[in-house]
Amino acid sequence: MDIAAIRRLFDRQMRVDAPPDAGTGSVEAVGPIVRVVSDNGWNGVRYSDLTDTTADAVIAAEAAYFAARGVTCEWKLYSHDQPADLPDRLMRAGFTGGEPEAHLVAELGDTPRHVTAPDGVGLSVVTDEAGVVAAAGVHHRVFGGDLTQITASYLDQFDHPDVNSIIVAEVDGEPVSAARLELTPGTRFAGFWGGATLPQWRRRGIYRALVAYRAKIAHDRGYRYGYVDALPTSEPILRRLGFHRIGTTVPFTLEATR
């Protein structure tokens, strides 16, 4: 895999040109940055092309813009973004850095097809609102957060089945793991999100099976690459399934002031 070429393609298709997640807002290209603005979804900067001389002023302008809207915003930083001291500049402007995640990409045609769920575990795409609520509940039990907001977000995604799929792993009709797949039309990339598995069901191959299941859906829909922002616990599993690390992402958050 040509890592530099994949980074350039990802930047162009997913950070500069891509629309926001279905039904969640609008994209604004303002000078050297691309931001997403939403009334009920993610707000923040997803791409920047800054220099030592322009960075501080642009950061200040974006902080002021989102503060005026009264919303918490995220500046999603990629390890190849410039200038090299951009993390320090963001923190000086009041942003708080989150946990780094590995930015992984796979050729979907090269991911294993033989990976299946363990005996007694069934995988399926959610087809009704009750299933969406159950999947959101698994996410909440594993990762925490506001259950009402998580459920609302899942329901918004469920309303766009052409680009979003919510997949659950069930045992005797009860969900034990849930994950999401987001397709971005006009690009070559499919996003793998979630992968929440209840503690008592971990280390049984369910997460691996959910990755393979989503990879097949995306590949069958004509997408070439899958990408993941992976926690350290997931990265080794994903690497064994054909994913390659092309960098690191870090969320920098600026909390709303009103």
Per-residue tokens: 198? 């209840």
Mean per-residue pLDDT for 100-127? Answer: 94
pLDDT at 146 over 90: no
Specify the range with the lowest mean pLDDT, choosing from 86-90, 156-160, 249-253: 156-160
CATH architecture of 3-102+249-254: 3-Layer(aba) Sandwich (3.40)
**Residue 226 binned pLDDT confidence (cut-offs 50, 70, 90):** very high
pLDDT of the residue at 19: 80
Condensed to tens digits (0 to 9), the pLDDT of residues 232-251 reads: 989 999 999 999 999 999 99
CA distance 245 to 238: 10
pLDDT of the residue at 115: 87
Integer CA distances (angstroms), 167 to 83, 145, 158, 219, in order: 39, 20, 11, 16
**Residue 25 binned pLDDT confidence (cut-offs 50, 70, 90):** confident
pLDDT at 97 over 70: yes
Which DSSP symbol is given to 41? S
Mean per-residue pLDDT for 24-46? Answer: 90
Sign of the four-CA dihedral 132, 133, 134, 136: positive
pLDDT at 145 over 90: no
Structural Rg of the chain based on CA atoms: 18
Which DSSP symbol is given to 15? I
DSSP string over 171-228: ETTEEEEEEEEEE-TTSSEEEEEEEEE-GGG-SSSHHHHHHHHHHHHHHHTT--EEEE
pLDDT at 22 over 70: no
pLDDT at 221 over 70: yes
Integer CA distances (angstroms), 21 to 25, 63, 199, 232, 243, in order: 8, 22, 29, 25, 23
H/E segment holding residue 153: helix 147-158
Q: 37 in helix, strand or coil?
A: strand
pLDDT at 117 over 80: yes
Query: What residues does CATH 3.40.630.30 cover in the chain?
Result: 107-246
**Residue 109 binned pLDDT confidence (cut-offs 50, 70, 90):** very high
Backbone angles phi, psi at 193, to 5 degrees: -130, 160
**Residue 113 binned pLDDT confidence (cut-offs 50, 70, 90):** confident
pLDDT at 40 over 80: no
pLDDT at 60 over 90: yes
> Strand runs (DSSP E) across the chain, as ranges?
26-30, 33-37, 44-48, 73-78, 96-97, 101-107, 122-125, 164-171, 174-183, 189-197, 225-230, 244-254
Phi-psi group of 242: left, alpha or beta (phi > 0 → left; psi -120 to 50 → alpha; rest → beta): left
pLDDT of the residue at 156: 85
| Amino acid letter for position 126 | V
Mean per-residue pLDDT for 123-128? Answer: 95
Condensed to tens digits (0 to 9), the pLDDT of residues 170-179 reads: 999 999 999 9
CATH homologous superfamily, domain 107-246:
Gcn5-related N-acetyltransferase (GNAT) (3.40.630.30)
